[in-house]
Structure 1
Amino acid sequence: MWRRIRTNRGVQIALGTTFAYYFKMVAHTSRFVVEPADIYEKIEDNLPLIMTFWHGQHFLTPFVMKPHHKAKVLISRHADAEINAIAAEKLGVGTIRGSGSTSPRDFHRKGGVSATYAMIDTLAEGINVAMTADVPKIARRVGKGVIVIARHSGRPIFPIAMATSNRITLKSWDKASLNLPFSRGAAVAGEPMWVARDLDEAGMEAARLELQHRLETITARAEALVGRPALGNLGEAQR
């Protein structure tokens, strides 16, 4: 029955719209600290860019960008993700549908190839893209997807971490945070990261590990700013 309900288009639109208005309320009732202080100047100097963040921290990321920053976010084709896609579009963020996989066969089936080309084309059009960094179903372990996009597009990766003092940690594989209103919030960005086009496999792995380090560092900083302990590397615990 739940499957029939969640795949009903009317229900999806209602839930997606409700989530969009809810997170607008959270953003507007919370006091956010943004670091570094010159992050928006750095963004303006590096447009278009690839914004990446841990899965589960994505609900408030549309509020990081300025209104004039056009962006599209990568969202899977799964039925449950349709609600996220509707919410993103209600918040003014375009969508690219597809997801990665550790299996080459599943990568094609889930639309990973077409999504990769779409993100590269979107950046070529001068529009930012946003995507989670994690390996599918392995939280907080960076996959190669974002590295591949940066390598072939020639655009920089901006790692972003967001946290709020009041939140509910969901019982999902990514330990997603349901942010609550009237919180102290933090948005922390790492330095822009460029990936050379001519990297070999060893270089790609080094870039992946560097992005892993940067995301872990800024996540710990965001949690500290809102007075909460860092969650640690959930991916390492699940491997």
Structure 2
Amino acid sequence: MLKRIVKSEAFRRLIGNTLAAYLDFIDRTSTLIIEPEDIDGYYHAVTPNIVTMWHGQHFLMPFARPTNADIRVMISKSGDGDINAIAAKKLGMGLIRASGGKTARQISRRGGVRGFLEALRCLENGISVSLTADVPKGPARVCGPGIVQLASRSGRPILPTGYATSRRIELDTWDRMAVNLPFSRCGFVAGDPIFVPSNLDEAGLKRECERVKAGLDAVIKRAYAIADETTD
């Protein structure tokens, strides 16, 4: 009986809506510091773009969304993904239901090809997309090839972002997930746009993945420095 309840759509909707309400509570009780300060101008200067972040650091991203930004977030078709998708939609985000993988079988099962094509269509139509750079279930904070291939194919830049809260619980999970807590000092940082060349060979793909990793590591480090009021 319990297993059926957990798997039911009604239960997932309840948890997703509760998650959205909790995240909204964090936002309303916390102070957000954004870099750069003119995030609207910074973001729209390179729209459409591919907003990216590391897994486990993404829950509060909707609250740093620039004004009038139409961003479609890519979320997996898993059970956890269903909950996250319900919360993201409640918070005003558009959805692409798919995720990447390490093998052709994983990519097929997770709808990676369909998701890639849908993301490409969004970018071609002037709509930004958002996805994590590292692939479930790890390794954490290692950029997978999918986001780089999307940037290469579309010609649109990758925008590395990081969000951190001063009050948090850091879990021992594959993605080093941070459970954000209310009444926090929050830091959101957007890094320099990363433009990826077209027609990458294997060496070029690896090089660009390293560039994305470096960009993401820098912004999340800075976001934590802002949140914790330390020097980075």
Q: Give the TM-score normalised by structure 2.
A: 0.94
Specify every segment of 5 or more residues in structure 2 that has no aligned partner in the other structure, as ranges. Answer: none
Q: Deviations over 1:1-41 (max 9, x none)?
A: 55422321111111111111111111121111111223321
- 1:236 match: none
| 8 A contact 1:6–1:80 mirrored in 2 | no
| 8 A contact 1:147–1:208 mirrored in 2 | yes
Aligned counterparts, 1:179-190, within 5 A: 179-190=180-191
Q: Deviations over 1:100-150 (max 9, x none)?
A: 111111111111110100110111121111000113211111111110111
The answer to whether the aligner puts 1:215 opposite 2:216 as a matched pair is yes
Aligned counterparts, 1:30-179, within 5 A: 30-138=30-138, 139-179=140-180
Specify every segment of 5 or more residues in structure 1 that has no aligned partner in the other structure, as ranges. Answer: 231-239
How far is 1:171 from its partner? 3.7
How far is 1:87 from its partner? 0.4
Partners of 1:163 and 1:96 lie apart in 2 by: 24
Letter in 1 for 2:10: G
Matched position secondary structure for 2:52: strand
Letter in 2 for 1:116: F
| 8 A contact 1:23–1:59 mirrored in 2 | yes
| 8 A contact 2:40–2:67 mirrored in 1 | no
| 8 A contact 2:96–2:119 mirrored in 1 | yes
Partners of 1:195 and 1:2 lie apart in 2 by: 48
Summarize the Cα distance change of 1:80–1:5 in structure 2 as closer, same or farther, 3 Å threshold.
farther
Letter in 1 for 2:215: R
Matched position secondary structure for 1:135: coil
Partners of 1:3 and 1:87 lie apart in 2 by: 22
| 8 A contact 2:47–2:128 mirrored in 1 | yes
- 2:227 match: 226
Q: Percent identity, aligned pairs only?
A: 42
- 1:233 match: none
Summarize the Cα distance change of 1:126–1:184 in structure 2 as closer, same or farther, 3 Å threshold.
same
Aligned residues: 230
Summarize the Cα distance change of 1:143–1:228 in structure 2 as closer, same or farther, 3 Å threshold.
farther
Letter in 2 for 1:121: R
Partners of 2:178 and 2:67 lie apart in 1 by: 24
How far is 1:196 from its partner? 1.4
Letter in 1 for 2:225: A
What is the root-mean-square deviation of aligned Cα atoms in Å? 1.7
Matched position secondary structure for 2:228: coil
